[in-house]
Structure 1
Amino acid sequence: MESECPHLGADLSHADIEEADAEVVAVCPWHSETGLKACTYNVDVRDDDSVWVETPEDGTGWELVELRPVSEEFADPPLTHIRDTTKIEEEGEATNRTSSTSETIEAVVPQENAPKTLIEWAVLILNTPNPKLKVERTRHAVHLFRTGKLKSIGRSDNAIKPPDVPPRHAELQLVQPGKVGKRGKAGSVKNRIAMLHALANIEQWAIDLAWDIIARFGPSHPDLPHQFFSDFTKVALDESKHFSLLSSRLDNLSSYYGSLPIHAALWESATSTSQSLASRLAIIHLVHEARGLDVNPNTIEKFRTAGDMESVKVLETIHYDEITHVTAGHRWFTWICGREGWDPVKKFRSEVKSRFVGRLKGPFNEEDRRKAGLTRDFYEDLDDDVDENHEERERDRHVDTAAAAAVKLAYET
């Protein structure tokens, strides 16, 4: 079997291995019959510390938006006060990371029925209630994927199904979104803890959202190129990094993740978009994550004013990563629109009008939205369109307040 793509000369270590009749076929990840190709360019750091980037060959219609180093460091090990001993096994070695109140032992790689495909890993992680173990399994799964140790995406018709709602650890207190409490202005340690805890909760759901889009839509969209899975495994890894950094900051402030209630509001949008990949990309990545680009700078400034520069560093790392996540959402939303013959702007505005519950008013972070590919025609005056159905959808949303609050959330027993 070829070790390089015969067309591009690219490494095939990330190729999908599929069975076709009596043959085993390597599916090249770098191009496809859909015409999508990986936009990767050589980068060279020279002796004078200058950075040189290979430019696109086809025309001049490109722009270097920004060159910024972003830390890939985790807070290792992720800190948590939830009871758990995480057993890490890799390359034949085993180590234990144990909390002082440890009661159970669960391995990163299950001893029985260990996942063999990316989608199997995605579903395992989605069904992992312990936040620390969710991070560790994410890191391990992405490492396997990137190093070619997973031989298949696993998107067959009988692929394992993701849960309707990812479970949460029994020691986490779930409340309705409006009952979490006000976060304040970050002037006091108490308020900063509340804000960091709320963000850590969002990152836990964000990890699940990245794996869910892989597990839920991979099998039903066999034409999705390999780059789709590369993009969203990166998103999952970033979100797990963010959680570890926020968890570490909580620990440094003499608190911990789980010290305050959490809510599942973000997963409501996941539930409402579970039948459509275009809807999922539009609402989760081009609404929720793009809204994060709008509010993050103000949050960062609150911590800066409070003199909490360590938290500022963490939040800045998160913000710059989130720009790339909106970029990924935009890339694959426009890919679907191109395949289906839809106008991306019209399709996006239609999805928001029919599926999003909430207000979409400015001010918008136009600069960072533009970096991610969101031009003003996507979101300008969008709230006027949303307002027409807002009250009706709000009534439908609160018909059963108990169910809406819990979103049928499963707890570990």
Structure 2
Amino acid sequence: MARVRIGEVAELAHAYRHVLTLRHTQTDELHDVVLFRMTGHPLTFYCMEARCPHLGASLARAPLRPGLDDVEDLIVVCPYQYDFTLRTGASSTGLRACVFAVTIDEGIVYIEPPTNDVIDGAPVWTLASRQAISEAWAEPPPMPSSTNEKPTSLASLGKSASFDPHTVPPPTPAPTTLVAWAALILRTPSPLHKVAYTRYAYEACAAGIDIGGGAWENGVWVVPENEQPPAWPPRMEDEQRVRPGQEGKRGKGGTERSRIALLHALANIEQWAIDLAWDIIARGARLSAQHMQTPTDPTPAMPLPRDFFTDFCQVANDEAKHFTLLQRRLLELGSWFGALPVHHGLWEAAVETSGDLFAPIVHLVHEARGLDVNPVTIRKFAAAGDQASVASLQTIHMDEITHVAAGHRWLTFLCAAHPARLSPVHVFRHCVKTHFAGRLKG
């Protein structure tokens, strides 16, 4: 079998993933694949096409989760929730991604080429480039190794050497529905535990946990007590809270102090974004059932499919990843989340829309505003030579595109499902004018 030399095992062991660009020596055709490095001894590698066969979304930073049929199988999940087994490329959707055999010979890693073309017995494919993807979230979480003792303050988290959600074990007892997970996470003030519990909930959702969310009883939608979210998620006691706009000037990113202030403000946004995603999951079943009520059908079935909840579970998991990236960068710069004042403006938007089924509007407004601002912020950090922060901000920016897509998908779904067949454009414009302040770009 033809094979392409990728590099020494020692060269590939420092990153969980590499994007490999292969070049056809006769046609100059380029072909991208992703090499996945697993932990363990000896090291194990998998190789798959770099883009999902569904819509071409990149798999370079797509999350991994354990397989449902075999715990040793790993599944990569594209931004649109298409899943592919790393070992075979098979998907529960019926699609299949191309995978390439990986062999290790005397400490050298080789992969199967896209085609078996050879000239004079030698393969025509060569390695053109190899780019490491340094992303800790590419690995499935290891088994927890510490107690469930919660930090007492944001400052205590800041004094720790690292921000590692892997050290937090699952709650005991663990919630038995996804909505109960959402309510628990919304009641959790520690950002470390909020992030860790989000990961556990994401894995439970991928494993098929029941959604929950309540049911009709005598004409009233009743939600179990453990599935009821708080009106306002609690925060750590030493949080410095101010009104929106009163945080102080953050500068233009030219100094380290200014960049810390910008990263801190973004970390505050991401922590609230975790809660916003779980809030949609917690309220979705009740609001959607009430949304479908008519005079002739006062207790309609809840219309939302499981995909609604898995989409926003993915959003929550992404936001938890973003907070982790920002908190770790703050620690590297000698600061931490909580060292500066923050505001609760994002949650005020959630309160404003708490009785409105069209909560995905949040993801079409706040997330889209972020897409407008992020490139400017990234350029500021790049101009200052802060490439470590740029890498994190670029990851956040690409994920937020899929979050806007999720908001769009479910706004249009809910409008189509409504008995009156609502217009998504009219609903969007009405909700924006009703609930949101500030100028919106075209």
TM normalised by structure 2 equals: 0.61
Q: Given residue 317 of structure 1, which amino acid in structure 2 is its aligned partner?
A: T
Does 2:265 match 1:192? no
- Deviation at 1:156? 1.9
Which stretches in structure 1 are left out of the alignment for 5+ residues? 1-11, 15-28, 31-37, 51-68, 77-87, 362-379, 381-413
Q: 1:319 aligns with which of 392, 397, 401?
A: 397
Query: Of the candidates 277, 285, 294, which is equivalent to residue 363 of structure 2?
Result: 285
**1:107 Cα deviation after fit:** 6.3
Match for residue 206 of structure 1? 273
> 1:42 corresponds to which residue?
96
2:423 to 330, 339, 343: 343
TM-superposed CA distance for 1:195, in Å, is: 0.2
Cα distance between partner residues in 2 of 1:307 and 1:291: 25
Taking the aligned partners of 1:166 and 1:44, their CA distance within structure 2 comes to: 44
Give the residue type in structure 2 aligned to 1:198. Answer: A
Is 1:176–2:243 an aligned residue pair? Answer: yes
Answer yes or no: is 1:109 the counterpart of 2:170. Answer: yes
Contact 1:70 1:320 in 2 (8 A): no
Equivalent of 2:304 in 221, 224, 234? 224
- 1:110 aligned partner, one-letter code: P
Aligned runs of 1:22-41 on 2, under 5 Å? 41=95
Return closer, same or farther for 1:234/1:165 CA change in 2, 3 Å cut-off.
same
Aligned residue pairs: how many? Answer: 292
Task: Check conservation: 2:363, 2:407, Cα contact below 8 A.
Answer: yes
Aligned-pair distance for 1:353? 1.4
- Alpha-carbon distance change, 273 to 195 in structure 1, aligned in 2, over 3 angstroms: same
Q: Which structure is richer in relative contact order (CA contacts within 8 A, separation 6 or more)?
A: 1
C-alpha separation in 2, matches of 1:251 and 1:75: 21
In the alignment, which residue of structure 2 is the partner of 1:55?
none
State the shift of 1:306 in Å: 0.3
The residue identity in structure 2 corresponding to 1:320 is M
CA distance in 2, matches of 1:70, 1:345: 39
Maintained 8 Å contact 1:74/1:244: no
Q: 1:40 to 1:72 in 2, by over 3 A?
A: farther
Q: How does 1:339-378 map to 2 (within 5 A)?
A: 339-340=417-418, 341-361=421-441
Compute the displacement of 1:143 (Å): 1.1
Per-residue CA deviation, residues 8-31 of structure 1 (Å, 9 max, x unaligned), is: xxxx969xxxxxxxxxxxxxx99x
Matched, 1:138 2:198: yes
Alignment of 1:236-315 (within 5 A): 236-278=316-358, 280-282=359-361, 284-315=362-393
CA distance in 2, matches of 1:337, 1:73: 38
Residue identity in the other structure for 1:310 = A
* Cα gap change, 1:135 to 1:346, in 2 (>3 Å): same
Greater share of residues in helix: 1
- Point out the more displaced range, 132-141 or 350-359: 350-359
Match of 1:17 in 2: none
Deviations 1:142-183 (A, max 9, x none): 1122123x2x11122333211111110112111111210111
| Cα displacement string for residues 105-153 of structure 1 (whole angstroms, at most 9, x for unaligned residues) | x964333x531111111100000000111001111111122123x2x11
Decide which of 164, 169, 179 is 1:119's aligned counterpart.
179
One-letter identity of the residue aligned with 2:345? A
* Letter aligned with residue 196 of structure 2: E
* Aligned equivalent of 1:147: 207
1:39 Cα offset (Å): 7.7
Q: Distance in 2 between matches of 1:312 and 1:217?
A: 35
1:213-245 C-alpha deviation (Å, 9 max, x unpaired): 000122343220010111011000000000000
Change (3 A) 1:315 1:97: farther
Please list every run of 5 or more consecutive structure 2 residues that lacks an aligned counterpart in the other structure: 1-66, 70-80, 83-91, 101-111, 116-131, 158-166, 216-222, 289-301
Q: Aligned match of 2:146 in 77, 95, 100?
A: 95
Matched ranges for 1:79-90 at <5 A: none
CA distance in 2, matches of 1:45, 1:190: 46
Q: Is the 8 A contact 1:303 1:312 kept in 2?
A: yes
Amino acid at match of 1:334: T
Match of 1:329?
Answer: 407
Shift in alpha-carbon separation, 1:133–1:358, aligned structure 2, 3 A: same
Q: 1:353 to 1:239 in 2, by over 3 A?
A: same
Q: CA deviation at 1:335?
A: 0.3
Q: Aligned AA for 1:270?
A: A
Alignment partner, residue 136 of structure 2 = 73
User: What do the CA deviations read for 1:337-371 (whole angstroms, capped 9, x no partner)?
Assistant: 1112112112211111122111114xxxxxxxxxx
Moved more, 93-102 or 256-265: 93-102
Preserved CA contact (<8 Å) 2:244 2:344: yes
1:73 counterpart letter in structure 2? A
Shift in Å, 1:95: 2.6
More strand by share: 2
CA distance in structure 2 between the aligned counterparts of 1:324 and 1:73, rounded to whole angstroms: 20
What percentage of residue pairs aligned between the two structures are identical?
A: 49
Coordinate RMSD, CA, aligned: 3.2
Q: Could you tell me how far apart the structure 2 residues matched to 1:288 and 1:358 are?
A: 11
Tell me the residue number matched to 2:315: 235
- In structure 1, distance between residues paired with 2:134 and 2:401: 14
Residues 269-315 of structure 1: CA distance to partner in whole angstroms, max 9, x if unpaired? Answer: 1011111121x212x11111111111100000000000000000000
Distance 1:210 1:72 in 2: 22
